[in-house]
Amino acid sequence: MRKISVFALGIIAMVALSGCGSTGSVSIEPTNVQPGMNVAAIISENGDMRFYSLVSLEEGGTSFAVKFINGDEYSIEKSEIKYVVPAKLDLKVGDSVVAPNSYTYGTFMRGKIKEVKSNAYAVTWDNTASGLADEDVAFGRILPGNLVTYKCTVEPCFLK
């Protein structure tokens, strides 16, 4: 009986840690960021905080070289990286997401999945006042909407 209980607890722990859910697993502790990974980071500049989708390029002590969607490269502190974005989530039409908008240099915005395509999700943005058209966002760039609770200090960072 004791061996079965220990085994059952082990299975429960494995399931809990694996992130088994319909949205896949998302690391909230990006301690093992490697070059080439898609990451989400809060970047503070001149007192403004914005949440960006970036690709990690190279580690340098306490910082990371990263690339924005538009190709610009920048150096950020490791502490600014908040999430490692999974390669693909199991999302369906109507799911709430946080996705980078290419018109705002990859600033994350809230939206909903409009269509699932072969290599991207069509996203309709929640903030209709922004006037931004629906956009296809590649797999590996989207986070589940219920995960992100950061509030940015300026628009366009529609995470409130």
Write out pLDDT tens, residues 23-40: 445 544 566 788 888 888
Q: What is the pLDDT of residue 41?
A: 87
Q: What is the pLDDT of residue 150?
A: 56
- Residues of the chain with pLDDT > 70, as a percent, come to 68
55 has a pLDDT exceeding 50:
yes
Q: What is the pLDDT of residue 7?
A: 32
Looking at 1-10, 25-34, 130-139, 143-152, which range is the least confident one?
1-10
Q: What is the pLDDT of residue 158?
A: 39
Supply the DSSP string of 67-103, one letter for each residue: E-TTS-EEEEEGGGEEEEPPS-----TT-EEEEEEGG
pLDDT per residue as tens digits for the range 83-94? 888 888 889 999
Q: What is the pLDDT of residue 116?
A: 95
| Domain 21-84: top CATH class | mainly beta
Looking at 8-17, 120-129, 135-144, which range is the least confident one?
8-17
> Greatest CA span in the chain, whole angstroms?
62
Domain parsing of the chain, residue ranges: 21-84
Q: What span, in angstroms and rounded, lies between the C-alpha atoms of 106 and 94?
A: 22
DSSP state of 133: P
Q: Classify 54 in phi/psi space as left (phi over 0), alpha (psi -120 to 50) or beta.
A: beta
Looking at 15-19, 53-57, 81-85, 104-108, which range is the least confident one?
15-19
Q: What span, in angstroms and rounded, lies between the C-alpha atoms of 23 and 91?
A: 6
Supply the DSSP string of 3-24, one letter for each residue: HHHHHHHHHHHHHHHHT-STT-
